[in-house]
Amino acid sequence: MKCPLRYGIELPQLGPLNATTKDCLNEECAWWDPRWGWCIEQTKAHALHTIATELWKIRQKMPHVEQFKR
């Protein structure tokens, strides 16, 4: 797995220079999530996906405006 952080510098006039990704350091990385055993960025993505799924389920249960019009 590659680290989600980009290594390199960026100058406004020239754009990114030598922007590369490096291999994940796992437990040695400050972004490592020991609870799930993956990078914290994956934890965030998983949590957002779960929240979005639950919100979609709630939206599906809500009545539509057309049901109340006569």
Contact (Cβ atoms closer than 8 angstroms) between residue 61 and residue 54:
no
pLDDT in tens, 21-56: 667 777 788 778 888 787 887 888 888 999 999 999
Region label for 9, one of left (φ > 0), alpha (ψ between -120 and 50) or beta (otherwise): beta
Average pLDDT, the chain: 76
Report the amino acid identity of residue 68.
F
> Where do the domains of the chain lie?
7-63
Measured between alpha carbons, how far is 1 from 21 in angstroms, rounded to an integer? 10
The reported pLDDT for the residue numbered 57 is 93
pTM of the full structure: 0.52
Q: How confident is the model at residue 1 (pLDDT cuts 50, 70, 90)?
A: low
Contact (Cβ atoms closer than 8 angstroms) between residue 5 and residue 25:
no
